[in-house]
Amino acid sequence: MSPIAVPARGSGGETSASWLRSRCQGPCRTGSVLLHAPSFAFQAPGGGENQLIQTGRHLEAMGLPVRLFCSWTDRLERARLLHLFGMSREGLELARRAKARGIPVVLSPICWFQPGALWNLERSWARKAGSLAVRSLRRLCPILPGWRRELLALCERILPNSHAEARQLTALFGVNPERLAVVPNGVLSTFRGACPALFRERFGDGEFALFVGRVEPRKNPLGLIRAVRSLRLRLVVLGEAPPECRTYHERCRAEGGDAVAWLASIAHEDPLLASAYAAARVLALPSWFETPGLVALEAALAGTAVVITPFGSTREYFGDRVLYARPNRLGEIKSALARGWSAGPDPRLAGFVAAHYLWPRVAHRTAEVYDQVARRS
């Protein structure tokens, strides 16, 4: 399997890109739900951005009017409510203005504060120490002021992706549990029963482990590359590096050598992505944390064995149906990969994901929260 670029393409119908373009055009209808992500978010889209898109699309399928907030043309007072995705200072400013106009704000924080990640991913010793000190101080005194705490306080309801994230928000920022409503991340049903033929026709029949995601330190593809080389396995990487991670990407390529095939990102609605999951022996995501990792949900539904980090909310989502490996333990990554490669997927995994995490179920839960907020306003 030689390195090749795969263009992202749709599977027919409205793609995510066309949906995004169309939902920020024209005037805002009175009573619409306004969805907002930081203005820089889609410069390097990942799981959080997909969460916004799929939430919007599936709410529309339920008959709810949805629009992407456009700062140039939209007026908050025309909205039913404002739904922020991700915690940002930009979102804080918008929440302040919505609150002043009597428009309720709902927040999907999509956040995790992992001590090991704070230490290992910060570049300077000063920033490492500072990040850990701030987290420790917040554990001792969660009512300390700060922009994140102010943003959380402005929201009528907060929608963490897991109970673990909810507990962390309470522990670090003093959020009242009564204002939290856990809404899990979701997965498209089209990944279930995926067929490996399409991917194999294009790239051959060789066996491989699969990594899908941004090529960046938090995702730890370098640790995975070292593990597969030690085991003498093949690895396919589906993803690209953000501009700020080019040096890291070059290092990954250099260490990967001929053991790694580098393919560009594939759109979520492209059947080639589901086929890639089905063709892989194992999907590996030994990140510094995941909440819980969109690609892990997709691969699990496609019937693929999953190796994933234990940090974040992964255990809450997958239980004992996947294999876990800490990002800073090469031996654990190797052991989990070898077990997943030989044993295959847990037979319970795909059915469990289908029963709990499909997008219509997630959108229904989100709409319930909207109704609760509307009754209180």
pLDDT of residue 128: 65
Residue 134 covered by a domain: yes
Residues 196 and 344 in one domain: yes
Q: Which two tokens stand for residue 172?
A: 């670090």
Residues 337 and 372 in one domain: no
pLDDT of residue 16: 75
Residue 11 covered by a domain: no
Residues 222 and 311 in one domain: yes
Residue 18 covered by a domain: no
- DSSP assignment of 180-222: B------B-GGGTT--SHHHHHHH-S---EEEES--SGGG-HH
Residues 326 and 196 in one domain: yes
Beta strand residue intervals within the chain, DSSP E: 32-36, 66-68, 79-85, 105-108, 157-158, 209-212, 235-238, 260-263, 282-285, 305-308, 323-324
Residues 333 and 201 in one domain: yes
Sheet holding 66-68, edge to edge: 66-68, 32-36, 79-85, 105-108, 157-158
Residue 174 covered by a domain: yes
Q: Which two tokens stand for residue 67?
A: 């629009």
Distance CA 251, CA 253 (A): 5
pLDDT of residue 337: 98
142 CB-contact burial (10 Å; exposed 0-12 / middle 13-18 / buried 19+): middle
Cβ count near 354 (within 10 Å): 17
Shortest CA distance to 260 belongs to which of 251, 271, 268?
Answer: 251
Residues 110 and 239 in one domain: no
Residues 337 and 200 in one domain: yes
Residues 47 and 180 in one domain: yes
Residues 205 and 84 in one domain: no
Residue 25 covered by a domain: no
Q: For each successive 10 residues of the chain (377 residues), what is the average pLDDT?
A: 37 64 73 87 73 93 92 89 94 96 96 77 73 76 90 97 96 95 96 94 94 95 97 96 93 96 89 96 96 94 97 97 97 98 96 96 96 84
Residue 139 covered by a domain: yes
Residues 349 and 285 in one domain: yes
Residue 60 covered by a domain: yes
pLDDT of residue 136: 77
CA distances (Å), 264 to each of 126, 157, 251, in order? 35, 37, 17
pLDDT of residue 152: 97
Range of the domain at 211: 189-356
Residue 15 covered by a domain: no
Residues 299 and 272 in one domain: yes
| Locus of tokens 């992505």 | 273
**Cβ atoms of residues 229 and 256 within 8 Å:** yes
Distance CA 162, CA 141 (A): 23
Question: What is the number of structural domains in the chain?
Answer: 2
Residues 130 and 236 in one domain: no
CATH of the domain at 165: 3.40.50.2000
pLDDT of residue 10: 34
pLDDT of residue 43: 66
**Cβ atoms of residues 265 and 235 within 8 Å:** no
pTM of the model: 0.88
Residue 248: helix, strand or coil by DSSP? helix
Instruction: State yes or no: cis peptide before 292, omega within 30 of 0.
Output: yes
pLDDT of residue 44: 64
